[in-house]
């Protein structure tokens, strides 16, 4: 007769048992697991998440190269920061970008706005003196508290034409490069110290996701011209940020917008090389009449130059590295380019022999 016995349910759940299951850890909002022990977070734009295979990898540095026309690079940064606030992540941006963050269109946002607007108005109401018996119907009733909505969505929807509510900015902190510093080295060092303090002192919890956004990095209107010393300080700052993100790769991510049109080409290429993701955005403003027919419906182009790959030899295989940009008042859209059939692109050239020759002198 066998001496083995099935363990009872009480014995399996006993805390003293060494084989008792561990308590499941609480997962932070706005992230999801990925292959090779990696974690994804949303960019705030569904089309961009689909192109990148699910979103940004935590611990990565995203470089967005903006063009001289259009605000498409800033729009990507606005989407990214607003997505962090919607997921209650800690977002560090400058004040000008935080003032233009778009409104998040979700059930939680609507319930929060309803709770802020619908205030009880029975405090200032005078008591009924004639129809006093109706007071029992108008008496103050216990106020029903709305249940807290657990938003499990990975990517939210936003309206660029409306600003975000101030109540949704509870996890926002200001972070910017101060141009009034005596030297660029001191300015970059202060920003890095603030980022390091945020990750190692302020937000040390396992579920604290921190998003950093730096706009117009190394722009001439915010700093000096791109001299040799400035380039050295910039590269040193980017390498330090990259090391900081790698150290806390499961809790943070950084997005940089670069004014590529105002910087030398070799500087833009070096910044692109230091980043994990590299995107370039161009605008058709000013020469839309010279575009081919297949690009007439777009406002610009979106190029993917680099994709992050952690714990793997190559990154995600992209279906499209060039997409069209459509920007209306409320939303930014990324769509793949669809070329018309070959027969419709071939245009008949007019026969010069059939045309009457001009004999005028």
What is the pTM (predicted TM-score) of this model?
Answer: 0.78
69 within some domain: yes
pLDDT classification of 294: cutoffs 50, 70, 90? confident
Domain count within the chain:
1
| CATH number, residue 89 | 3.40.50.300
| Residue 29, CA distances (Å) to 146, 151, 204, 355 in order | 20, 8, 16, 70
In a domain, 8, yes or no: no
pLDDT at 97: 95
Q: Name the residue range of residue 316's domain.
A: 28-103+154-338
* 31 bridge partner residues: 41
pLDDT at 293: 82
Cβ atoms of 34 and 54 within 8 Å: the answer is yes
Is residue 65 a contact partner of residue 258, using CB atoms and an 8 Å limit? yes
Answer left, alpha or beta for residue 187, where phi above 0 means left and psi between -120 and 50 means alpha: alpha
Give the pLDDT confidence of 45-61 residue by residue, as tens digits: 999 999 999 999 999 99
**Ranges 79-88, 190-199, 216-225: which has the least confidence:** 216-225
Residue 352, in any domain of the structure: no
The answer as to whether 165 is a domain residue is yes
143 within some domain: no
Count CB neighbours of 199 within 10 A.
20
Name the DSSP class of 261.
Answer: G
Tokens 């018996």 label which residue? Answer: 133
- Residues shown for the chain: 361
Confidence class for position 22, pLDDT limits 50, 70, 90: very low
Residue 219 corresponds to which tokens in the numbers above? 């722009």
Is 274 within a domain? yes
The answer to whether residue 298 sits within a structural domain is yes
Yes or no: say if 67 and 216 are a contact pair by the CB < 8 Å rule: no
145 within some domain: no
């Amino acid at each position: 007769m066998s001496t083995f016995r099935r363990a009872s349910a009480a014995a399996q759940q006993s805390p003293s048992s060494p084989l008792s299951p561990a308590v499941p850890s609480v997962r932070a909002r706005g992230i999801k697991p990925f292959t090779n022990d990696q974690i994804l977070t949303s960019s705030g734009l569904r089309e961009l998440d689909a192109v990148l295979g699910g979103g940004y990898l935590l611990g990565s540095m995203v470089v967005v190269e903006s063009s001289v026309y259009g605000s498409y690079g800033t729009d990507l940064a606005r989407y990214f920061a607003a997505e962090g606030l919607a997921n209650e992540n800690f977002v560090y941006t400058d004040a000008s970008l935080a003032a233009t963050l778009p409104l998040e269109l979700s059930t939680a946002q609507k319930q929060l706005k309803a709770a802020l607007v619908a205030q009880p108005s029975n405090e200032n109401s005078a008591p009924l003196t004639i129809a006093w018996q109706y007071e029992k119907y108008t008496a103050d009733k216990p106020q029903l508290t709305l249940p807290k909505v657990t938003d499990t969505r990975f990517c939210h929807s936003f309206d660029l034409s409306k600003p975000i509510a101030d109540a949704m900015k509870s996890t926002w902190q200001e972070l910017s490069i101060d141009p009034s510093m005596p030297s660029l080295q001191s300015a970059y060092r202060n920003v890095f110290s603030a980022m390091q303090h945020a990750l190692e002192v302020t937000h040390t919890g396992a579920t604290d996701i921190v998003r950093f956004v730096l706009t117009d990095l190394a722009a001439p209107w915010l700093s000096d011209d791109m001299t040799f010393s400035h380039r050295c300080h910039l590269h040193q700052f980017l390498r330090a940020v990259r090391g900081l993100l790698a150290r806390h790769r499961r809790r943070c991510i950084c997005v940089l917008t670069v004014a590529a049109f105002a910087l030398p080409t070799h500087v833009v290429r070096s910044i692109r090389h230091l980043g994990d993701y590299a995107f370039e955005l161009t605008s058709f403003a000013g020469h839309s009449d010279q575009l081919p027919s297949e690009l007439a419906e777009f406002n610009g182009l979106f190029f993917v130059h680099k994709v992050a790959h952690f714990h793997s030899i190559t990154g995600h295989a992209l279906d499209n590295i060039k997409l069209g940009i459509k920007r209306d008042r409320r939303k930014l859209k990324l769509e793949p380019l669809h070329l018309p059939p070959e027969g419709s692109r071939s245009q008949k050239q007019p026969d010069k022999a059939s045309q009457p020759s001009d004999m005028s002198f």
